Homo-oligomer: A and B are copies of this chain.
Amino acid sequence: MTRSEENYLKAIYHLGKTDKKAVATNAISEQMDTKPSSVTDMLKRLSEKGMVNYRKYQGVQLTEKGRSIALSIIRKHRLWEVFLVEKLGFSWDEVHEVAEQLEHVHSEKLIDELDRHLGYPTVDPHGDPIPTKTGEIKKSIKKPLSDLEIGHQGICVGVKDSSPAFLKFLDKYGITLGHVIRVIDVEEFDGSFHIQIEDRQMHISDQIANNLYIEIN
């Protein structure tokens, strides 16, 4: 497996994980920031290798083999993210780029020992589940705050849009990863949210609520 092949498998996994339908060439090209023609080339290569089922003009789906490799890359990515945050003091929004590189280091022993070193974590710093060695993965229990019903609560684990402006907003109002957030009420006329965050209460727009990911237990 080359690095590029691994990245394609990962992209196809992420694009296909919600519904079980085939993933479109253009969707992959957008996700990977390459041209559709390059994607077509790679899909043929991956198909040759038995990693995907590809039918011209119909999109692709991962085979069992492809899915298993994709999950092993995701496992590595998320374990490294935990390492960077827990051991090296990175903040949750700095880890992605570095983990993108570390995930391609090949060594079974390395990842097994890293897992042990970290105490066998089950989620990464963004609240996403870490696949097991055998490729099992818990369905993500993360959803936008805006999907919570009144009275329900969860832990703030991430953001959808991580623009500097939004991150600055969170900082300003003291909203941090790990905080417990409960929906107290939703305004009828503008869809804004009245929330309890730790020991205080505040109002946020539905746009903000839609960008905040909450983990429910």
Contact = CB atoms under 8 A, between A and B. Distances in A.
Interface of A: 84, 87-90, 94, 97-98, 101-102, 105-107, 109-110, 113-114, 116-117
A107 B113 contact: no
Contacts of A89: 113
A110 B89 CA distance: 10
B87 A110 contact: no
Given A88-B117, A117-B88, A105 B101 contact: yes
Given A88-B110, A88-B114, A98-B107, 7 more contacts: A87-B117, A97-B107, A98-B105, A98-B109, A101-B107, A102-B102, A105-B105
Contacts of A109: 90, 94, 98
B113 A106 contact: no
Contact of A88 (B90, B97, B102, B113): B113
